């Protein structure tokens, strides 16, 4: 399910790259590739997922061309009228509008809390238009010298999974060079890094609840599908791969590999992630956007009728995949 959805999202991103290159009306000055990261790299993307990507280039001296290409892609994606103005971080517009447009197909944004795009946020260093060697150097630096930001997920977590969106010239070879180099670096993790990664896992387990309690006779509440359904199982899958040094090409392949060795861990995480991704897809499809927040209440609530099918799917089947944080904690303590 999610792998098919992810492939369709990769196909759409490829079309955007090709159209942007056509608009520039000039041939690329060197080989390059567009690399999907985030949920697109993990194989978990659904319609309306934010698009996170970077450029691997043959020669960094041509960075201006790739900045222009990236900006052209922003314009094309923005022309779909599914990008929230708040994600563009335009200071002069703040306080002058109500951002009520549907949140759909858009780039990750250029705010300080996001910016996983080629041009990055002005306050962040730009490793997202770089050669394979340059990106490996940035990866090595963060891997061997973790800082406090690694507890929130630094560039090593971001680049754990990558997927090819578009290749020109020898671009696919550049990505293969980076992936092979990253896997080699991951074999030599120091104790400081391992300790940081374990803290990240345990911290994520405390910060995120897998699902809120629900009483069908209660007055009702709102829940956000990404935060309460999807975030925790996705992070658990990612953190497990990081700590164990797994290097498969997607979350699903890593969990499949882990399942052959530690079925009690992987089977539950894989099931939780699959159901979370499907619930997210169902909710986005039902709402027609990435708002992902729906109202849950008793059967007489008018608000509930709007997404009744989504609510029924999510809550009637929650016991199939719901796991208490205590159980997660025990599972991963034994794993570590």
Per-residue model confidence as pLDDT tens digits over 13-59: 999 999 999 999 889 999 999 999 988 999 998 887 778 899 999 99
pLDDT in tens, 188-234: 888 888 888 888 888 887 777 655 555 554 555 566 777 777 888 88
pLDDT digits (tens, 9 = 90+) for 244-262: 888 788 888 888 887 776 6
Instruction: Write phi, then psi, for 117 (nearest 5 degrees).
Output: -140, 165
Residue 110 confidence (pLDDT) above 50: yes
> Environment class of residue 117 by beta-carbon count within 10 Å: exposed (0-12), middle (13-18) or buried (19+)?
buried
Q: Are 243 and 201 in contact (CB under 8 A)?
A: yes
CA angle (33 as vertex; 43, 152 as ends), nearest 5? 50
Q: Which residue has the higher pLDDT, 180 or 191?
A: 180
Instruction: Give me the percent of the chain exceeding a pLDDT of 70.
Output: 65
Q: Is the pLDDT of residue 158 over 80?
A: yes
Q: 12 is written with which tokens?
A: 């759409």
Q: How far apart are CA 64 and CA 230, in angstroms?
A: 37
Alpha carbon 165 to its chain's center = 15
Query: What is the DSSP secondary structure assignment for residue 226, as one 8-state letter?
Result: I
Q: Which two tokens stand for residue 124?
A: 């962040």
Please work out, in degrees rounded to the nearest 5, the angle formed at the alpha carbon of residue 177 by the alpha carbons of 164 and 149: 80
Residues 6+ apart with CB under 8 A from 160: 41, 42, 238, 241, 242
Domain boundaries, the chain: 2-188, 192-335
pLDDT value of residue 334: 65
Residues counted in the chain: 336
Mean pLDDT for 96-109 is: 68
pLDDT band at 129 (very low <50, low <70, confident <90, very high): very high
Would you state the structure tokens that stand for residue 105, as one six-digit string? 């197909």
Work out the average pLDDT over 78-103.
68
The fold adopted by the segment(s) 2-188 is Beta Polymerase; domain 2 (3.30.460)
CA distance 236 to 244: 12
**pTM, full prediction:** 0.82
Position 134 scores a pLDDT of: 94
Helices (H), the chain: 2-24, 39-42, 63-78, 132-144, 155-158, 171-186, 191-207, 225, 231-244, 251-261, 263-287, 302-306, 308-316, 325-335
The whole-number pLDDT of residue 182 equals 93
Residue with tokens 């979370």: 276
pLDDT digits (tens, 9 = 90+) for 291-329: 656 555 544 444 443 445 555 555 554 544 455 556 666
Q: What pLDDT does residue 133 have?
A: 96
How far does CA 237 lie from the centroid of its chain? 12
Confidence at residue 309, expressed as pLDDT on a 0 to 100 scale: 54
**How would residue 100 be classed by pLDDT, with cut points 50, 70 and 90?**
low
What's the pLDDT score for residue 77? 82
Rounded CA-CA distance 299/218 in Å is 10
The predicted pLDDT at position 87 comes to 65
8 A C-beta contact, residue 83 and residue 107: yes
Give the integer Cα–Cα distance in Å for 143 and 324.
31
More confident residue, 7 or 331: 7
Structure tokens at 60: 């960094």
Antiparallel, parallel or unpaired: β 221-224 and 293-296: antiparallel
Which position has the higher pLDDT, 124 or 196? Answer: 196
CA 140 to CA 162: how far, in whole Å? 16
């Amino acid at each position: 399910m999610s792998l098919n959805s992810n492939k369709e999202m990769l196909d759409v991103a490829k079309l955007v790259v090709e159209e942007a290159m056509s608009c520039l009306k000039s041939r690329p000055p060197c080989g390059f590739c567009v690399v999907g990261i985030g949920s697109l790299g993990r194989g978990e993307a659904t319609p309306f997922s934010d698009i996170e990507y970077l450029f691997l280039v043959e020669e960094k001296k041509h960075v201006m061309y790739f900045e222009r290409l990236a900006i052209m892609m922003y314009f094309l994606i923005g022309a779909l009228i599914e990008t929230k103005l708040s994600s563009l971080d335009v200071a002069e517009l703040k306080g002058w509008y109500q951002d009520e447009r549907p949140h759909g197909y858009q780039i990750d944004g250029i705010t300080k809390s996001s910016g996983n795009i080629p041009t990055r946020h002005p306050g962040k260093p730009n490793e997202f238009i770089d050669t394979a060697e340059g990106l490996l150097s940035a990866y090595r630096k963060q891997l061997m010298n973790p800082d406090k930001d690694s507890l929130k997920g630094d560039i090593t977590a971001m680049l754990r999974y990558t997927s090819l969106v578009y290749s020109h010239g020898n671009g696919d070879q550049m990505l293969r060079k980076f992936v092979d180099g990253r896997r080699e670096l991951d074999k030599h993790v120091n104790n400081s890094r391992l300790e940081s990664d374990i803290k990240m896992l345990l911290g994520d387990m405390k910060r995120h609840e897998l699902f809120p309690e629900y009483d069908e006779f209660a007055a009702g509440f709102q829940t956000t599908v990404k935060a309460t359904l999807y975030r925790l199982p996705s992070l658990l899958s990612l953190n497990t791969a990081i700590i164990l040094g797994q290097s498969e090409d997607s979350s699903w392949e890593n969990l499949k590999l882990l399942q052959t060795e530690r079925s009690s861990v992987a089977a539950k995480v894989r099931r939780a992630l699959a159901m979370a991704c499907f619930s997210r897809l169902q909710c986005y499809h039902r709402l027609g956007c990435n708002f992902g927040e729906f109202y849950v209440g008793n059967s007489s609530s008018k608000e509930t009728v709007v997404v009744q099918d989504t609510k029924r799917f999510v809550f009637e089947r929650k016991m199939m995949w719901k796991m208490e944080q205590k159980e997660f904690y025990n599972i991963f303590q034994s794993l570590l």
